[in-house]
Amino acid sequence: MDTLVGKVIRLKLTNGGAVVPADNPFVGEAGIRPEIYALGLRSPWRMTVRNSDGKIFVADVGQAHWEEVNELKPRGNYGWSARQGPCPDGQVLPCTPAPPEFTDPVMYYVHKKPGEQGSAVTAIAFYEGSAFPDKYHDLLFFADFNNNYISVAKLGHAGAFEISPFATGTGNVVDLEYYNEALYYLDIYNGTLRTIYHTDTGNTIPVALLRAEAE
């Protein structure tokens, strides 16, 4: 593993730049670059930290069939290009089992399934506040860039998860962030940063906080 393609690297920033942490998982192993932390990712577009336990999750944009979210683990091998989602590469459910040596995603969804269209998972964030209704607490919000929606996923044990729709017409979202009891999402094509917050007066239109326009 002498290339950084398809990898997540881990570095410690210093005043003069960056160094490889001594506890990186591949430090000292011949033929492996020591900055590598995890591998087998096609296009790890966004990361988020779940504050309740410090775990890191990665939105990995797929190719022809699957989008997936992975829990980042030291030495984790997520299987690209031998697998996508729950299947060997190029297959959809029902499929033959994915090779067992790979780390399973915590959530995935397939392209071209009615009610679950998808083509690029480009933003993720956990809602860890208390202002939203109880059913949204600690859920993973994720955005699909090409299909202009935000959905939520309840992550269970042993790879179980449940996806529910949340919002449509959100534009081309490239980032989701939780802050101060609200969710913020960035639509790159329209140049808008919007906030989603809960009120007791029914649904309201998301408010544009910033807008960037070309001269």
- pLDDT for residue 207 is more than 80: no
- 81 and 6 fall within a common domain: no
Tokens of 129: 């506040």
40-77 in b/e form (b: 16+ CB < 10 A) is: bbbebbbebebeeeeeebbbbbbeebbbbbbbbeeebb
- Looking at the structure, tell me whether residues 32 and 47 fall in a common domain: no
- Based on the fold, state whether residues 33 and 108 are members of the same structural domain: no
Is the same domain home to 7 and 52? no
What pLDDT score was predicted for residue 1? Answer: 83
Q: Which domain holds residue 35?
A: 1-39
Q: 33 and 139 share a domain?
A: no
CATH, residue 203 = 2.120.10.30
Domain count, the chain: 2
Whether 23 and 115 share a structural domain = no
- With left for phi above 0 and alpha for psi between -120 and 50, is residue 40 left, alpha or beta? left
Which pLDDT tens digit goes with each residue over 136-187?
A: 999 999 999 999 999 999 999 888 999 999 999 999 999 999 999 899 999 9
Q: Could you report the per-residue pLDDT of 21-76, keeping only the tens digit for each?
A: 999 999 999 999 999 999 999 999 999 999 999 999 999 999 989 999 999 999 99
pLDDT in tens, 75-99: 999 999 999 999 999 999 999 998 8
